[in-house]
Amino acid sequence: MHLNVVPPQKGVYVLYLEIVQDSEFLVGSLGVVKLAKGTYLYIGSARGPGGLRARISRHFDKRKKIRWHIDYLTTHTNVILSGVTYAVTELDMESKLLHKLLTFSDVLGIAVPRFGSSDRRGDPSHLLRCYSEIETCIRAVEAAMKNLGLVPQTLIVDDEGPQPRIR
C-alpha cells in the first residue's frame, strides 16, 4: 500500500467505508450493529506515536487485534476501506470536525449512536452514513476541514491501494 505519503504527525482523519451488503456486526459494548449496504464515514484522530501514518495504516490492515469499535468493521469481509481524508494538526479537532459534518444533514447522518465516541461524551457517534454519492461526501468532508482551518488531503483506494487524489 502507498500509505507512506501520509505524514507521521498528529492529526484528524475521516475513513470512507463501503458496506458491500446488508450486514450485522457484533461490536463490543454496543452489541449487534446492523448496517445497510452503502457508504459510511468514520471520524478519528491520531495523537499517538507514528501519528496519522500509523493510525491510518492500522485501519487498512485487515489482520489486527480488535481494539476500537471501528476495528470490528475494518476487519470484516463485507467492509471495504475506499479512502481517507486527513489533516495534520496539533489541536484535538475530532469532535469539532464531527459537529461540523453533522451540519451537512442532507448528505450525512448518524449511523449508529455512540459508535466510536464512548470517550467523548458530547459526541453522538463517530460513524456517519453517507446519503449521497461518495464524491459528494468527500467534498463535504474537505469543506468541513477547510472551514475549521485545516488543510485536507484525500487518498482514494484503487487496484494499487490508497492513492493521492488529483484535483
Burial class (CB in 10 A: 0-12, 13-18, 19+), 151: exposed
CA distance 18 to 44: 17
The residue among 35, 11, 17 whose CA lies nearest residue 157 is 17
Average pLDDT score, the chain: 92
Q: How confident is the model at residue 166 (pLDDT cuts 50, 70, 90)?
A: very low
The whole-angstrom separation of Cα 100 and Cα 143 is 9
The 10s digit of each residue's pLDDT in 8-44 is 999 999 999 999 999 999 998 899 999 999 999 999 9
C-alpha cell at 43: 471520524
Q: What is the pLDDT of residues 90-119, one digit of tens each?
A: 999 999 999 999 999 999 999 999 998 867
Q: What is the pLDDT of residues 43-93, one digit of tens each?
A: 999 999 999 999 999 999 999 999 999 999 999 999 999 999 999 999 999
User: Are 70 and 41 spatial neighbours (Cβ–Cβ below 8 Å)?
Assistant: no
* Run of H or E including 138: helix 134-147
- Note whether 2 and 163 are within 8 A (CB): yes
CA–CA gap between residue 114 and residue 92 (Å, rounded): 19
Distance CA 107, CA 136 (A): 8
Q: Confidence band (pLDDT; 50, 70, 90) for 167?
A: very low
